[in-house]
Amino acid sequence: MNTVYLVLGLGVVLLVIYLIVRYTFGTVGKRENSSILVPIPNSNKLSVLLSEDTSVATAEQLDKSWYGTSGSTLFFFINPTIKDRTARVGNEYATALTFGSGVLKLNLLVAPDASRGEESAPAQLVIKTNTGNEVVELYNIDLQRWTSVAIVKQSARFKVYLNGKLTAAYTCTTGMPEKDTTQPLKIGDSTGRLDGSITNMVLYSVALSTQDIYSLISQQAGTDGKPYSVSSDAIGIDRLFSTVPWLGIGCPGGLCTEPKKPNPYETWQTSYA
């Protein structure tokens, strides 16, 4: 009898683990083509600071998953702040994300005259081709608030989604995008111009569709846009099973209410000049 209980218990544990992964990161097919970059594997860091310079994917990972010919996607949540406005002038950008030696960058404008008193900062994607740099202007990214970002690449064509909305669709005109298989993917601006963090970053070796991206956002964030921690102990069982109605576990008597969000990242409260 004890053996039966042990087998049943092990089966339940394995089912829970499977459902956590599936309903957090999408379908099995997508998961097999993905790498979780943040939270950093084998680390207790659930997010990465933008004020630092942190490698989150090796050159080998980029070569395998980002530079492939079948398409690729980088999905993450960002919550930036401008750390030092008073010392900056003009149209100066800080780099939030760098692929390799700079073959692709996500930049935020930090000049004080650009967005002082505003709640967002202009953003741009800089693509290095074999003949020069091409700049893709994006919608502003909110400051002190979480925004989901998806960068989808297919050959020389890029799509950028902010909070699930397609904000840029661009095809390189001066040449093919370069690739750097010797340097990692890095988060942060080591010059101290940015603060805030990035979390829930996943690299896919496939080009995700608009529906895929919507699904990721709904699985990883609440209606207020705050991302959930993707650590298994932070996903409430009530939320998990309420998404799987055929199990009938999380809704005794059919009296389910909206589950409490498990450990959402709070909006930054620090004031700045």
Mean per-residue pLDDT for 64-71? Answer: 91
pLDDT reading at 262 higher than 60: no
Residue at token pair 């949540």: 77
Of 35-39, 51-55, 181-185, 255-259, the poorest mean pLDDT is in 255-259
pLDDT reading at 253 higher than 50: no
Q: Which helix (H) or strand (E) holds 16?
A: helix 2-25
The predicted structure's pLDDT at residue 100:
95
Cα-based torsion angle of the residue sequence 175, 190, 141, 113 in order, rounded to the nearest 10 degrees: -100
| Percentage above 90 pLDDT, the chain | 50
pLDDT reading at 152 higher than 90: yes
Radius of gyration of the chain (CA): 20
Question: Cα separation of 149 and 203, whole Å?
Answer: 12
The predicted structure's pLDDT at residue 90:
54
The predicted structure's pLDDT at residue 233:
34
Of 12-26, 47-61, 65-79, 132-146, the poorest mean pLDDT is in 12-26
pTM for the structure as a whole: 0.73
Domain boundaries, the chain: 33-229
The predicted structure's pLDDT at residue 149:
98
Question: Cα separation of 151 and 168, whole Å?
Answer: 10
Greater model confidence, 104 or 254 = 104
Tell me if residue 98 falls in helix, strand or coil.
Answer: strand
The angle that helices 210-220 and 2-25 make with each other, rounded to 10 degrees, is 120
Give the pLDDT band of residue 44 (cuts 50, 70, 90): confident
Q: Does domain 33-229 have CATH number 2.60.120.200?
A: yes
